[in-house]
Amino acid sequence: MFVWRYCIVKILVINTGSSSLKYDLFHMDDERVLFRGRIDGIGLEAAEHRFSGTDCPAVSGRAAVPDQMAALKIMLDTLQSGCIESLKDIDGVAHRVGHGGFHRQAAVITPEVIAELKRMIPFVPLHLPAMISEIELCMSLMPNTVHVAVNDAWFHTTMPPEATLYGLPFEYFEKKGYQRVGYHGFSHAYVAERAAQFLGLSIQDLDIITCHLGNGSSLCAIAKGASVDTTMGMSALEGLIMGTRSGDVDPGLIPVIMKEESLSPDQVLEMLYSRSGLAGLSGISRNMQDIEKAMEEGNERATLAFKAFCHRLKRYIGAMLMVLGRCDVLVFTGGIGENSPRVRAAVLQGASELGFVIDQEKNVQPDPWKNRDVLDLTGPAARSRILAIQTFEELIMARQCADVMNRGLSADR
């Protein structure tokens, strides 16, 4: 049984992605980040580990990090050597989960919650196994700390039924709960809130399209602060072309491929999740920077992969615009959205009649993120504001963790 502390001060947020691990230690009195680390390129030859804290300078280095468990051990060692004396100093841990099943709101992690997460692995095979292993390892190392699962799909619980239903026999929804749930909720929520703050407007007065573009990518239509549609579905495979994920594929093609290639269901899923997308199309890399470099060198497959990525993105921005009826703000975020002027320019080329005009000079400015987290890229005569915003999913996760712990504290008093 958990014993709730009467002073929730330090919350560690662990954000496990498909190829990255981000961690932030917050002081929740003022939402200040005490320590922050990023491990990017997990599974590649040389992953990069960057970390910094209030009492230590920024440090960066490269090393082989074969999997998420190796990354987690590096994180815990780094925290104890540079920020805290003991893991006991941490009051709560927020663990991002890619699909919580019926636990779509933040919840204290219990054996029942873990069992539900394991049931969802077929829908998120790229992320959930590592997330669950990370949770179990952290709980074993920090048994007296409150561990909270914060659900990536939380933000999309406001989607109307017509946006969540698949065109399958209704009993699949009614009896099994198969429906579109969406992902990247923390990122979409944060950048929408930050966009409204940057513009000095209430989010209740805005219709926003957010584009989270990274190794995993999705769009979200946000009306008056609420998600009303998104591009990912029950799994993180639906929608846009991604780093190694296919995005939308005609379902009728799948059994044909399985028969022709003699693939099992698990094998075809592995192909769709891990050998498709930018990597599969280009034959080069899942990384957009590598794709763009190859394009500059005249690689035709890299150029084709880039164009396919941008075409799919254009198609879905148009779909989100029709869902909302208007777009006051278009936001780019995530590793590609924040750092690829080429993608932003290509996607908005020819979109002036829809109100999207990007300022070409601002879009390619050198060192764009120096001392700021928002870029206003709005061009002349645009009807929609065009922003690039550095996402901060971890802050939303820390707040949700603190809210769950405070509710437990109130109930205990």
pLDDT of amino acid 317: 99
Distance from CA of residue 257 to its chain's centroid?
30
Straight-line distance from the first to the last Cα atom of the chain, in angstroms, rounded to the nearest whole number: 16
- Strand, coil or helix: 311: helix
Task: Report CA Rg, the chain.
Answer: 21
75 and 217, same domain (yes or no): no
- C-alpha span between 262 and 144 (Å, rounded): 49
Residue 215, annotated as binding a ligand: yes
pLDDT of amino acid 194: 98
Catalytic residue, from 24, 40, 91, 152: name it.
152
Domain membership of residue 205 (yes or no) is yes
- C-alpha span between 294 and 400 (Å, rounded): 42
- Strand, coil or helix: 18: coil
Domain membership of residue 309 (yes or no) is yes
The CATH number assigned to the domain holding 337 equals: 3.30.420.40
pLDDT of amino acid 101: 57
Give the domain range for residue 48.
Answer: 10-151
Residue 31, annotated as binding a ligand: no
- C-alpha span between 192 and 202 (Å, rounded): 11
Residue 287, annotated as binding a ligand: no
Half-sphere exposure of 303 (CA within 13 A, CB side): 6
151: closest CA among 102, 190, 193, 224? Answer: 102
124 and 33, same domain (yes or no): yes
385-389/20-27 β-pairing: unpaired
- C-alpha span between 407 and 405 (Å, rounded): 5
List 23's β-bridge partners, or say none.
14, 37
217 and 342, same domain (yes or no): yes
Give pLDDT tens digits for 217-239. 999 999 999 999 999 999 899 99
User: Has 207 been annotated as catalytic?
Assistant: no
- C-alpha span between 114 and 17 (Å, rounded): 18
* Long-range CB contacts (within 8 A, 24+) of 261-266: none
Domain membership of residue 191 (yes or no) is no
139 and 257, same domain (yes or no): no
Domain membership of residue 159 (yes or no) is no
10: closest CA among 411, 412, 401? Answer: 401
Residue 336, annotated as binding a ligand: yes
Residue 291, annotated as binding a ligand: no
92-97/10-16 β-pairing: parallel
Sequence-distant (≥ 6) Cβ neighbours of residue 408 within 8 angstroms: 2, 4, 108, 146
Largest Cα span, the chain: 67
| Confidence check: pLDDT of 374 > 90 | yes
Domain membership of residue 158 (yes or no) is no
Task: Indicate the number of domains in the chain.
Answer: 2
Give pLDDT tens digits for 127-164. 788 888 889 988 988 888 999 999 989 999 999 999 99
pLDDT of amino acid 54: 81
Residue 62, annotated as binding a ligand: no
Residue 259, annotated as binding a ligand: no
272 and 134, same domain (yes or no): no
Domain membership of residue 170 (yes or no) is no
DSSP 3-state percent helix, strand, coil across the chain (nearest 5)? 45, 20, 35
Give pLDDT tens digits for 24-58. 999 998 899 999 999 988 888 889 999 998 877 78
Q: What is the mean pLDDT of residues 258-268?
A: 96
- C-alpha span between 105 and 292 (Å, rounded): 39
DSSP state of 284: S
Residue 214, annotated as binding a ligand: yes
Which residue shows structure tokens 């899942």?
286
Domain membership of residue 177 (yes or no) is no
Give pLDDT tens digits for 308-362. 999 999 999 999 999 999 999 999 999 999 999 999 999 999 999 999 999 999 9
132 and 281, same domain (yes or no): no
Domain membership of residue 402 (yes or no) is no
Positive or negative torsion for Cα 205, 191, 320, 360 = positive
122 and 14, same domain (yes or no): yes
Residue 96, annotated as binding a ligand: yes
| Contact yes or no for 121/128 (Cβ under 8 A) | yes
- Residue 411 pLDDT class (50, 70, 90 cuts): very low
DSSP state of 53: E
CB atoms within 10 A of CB 289: 12
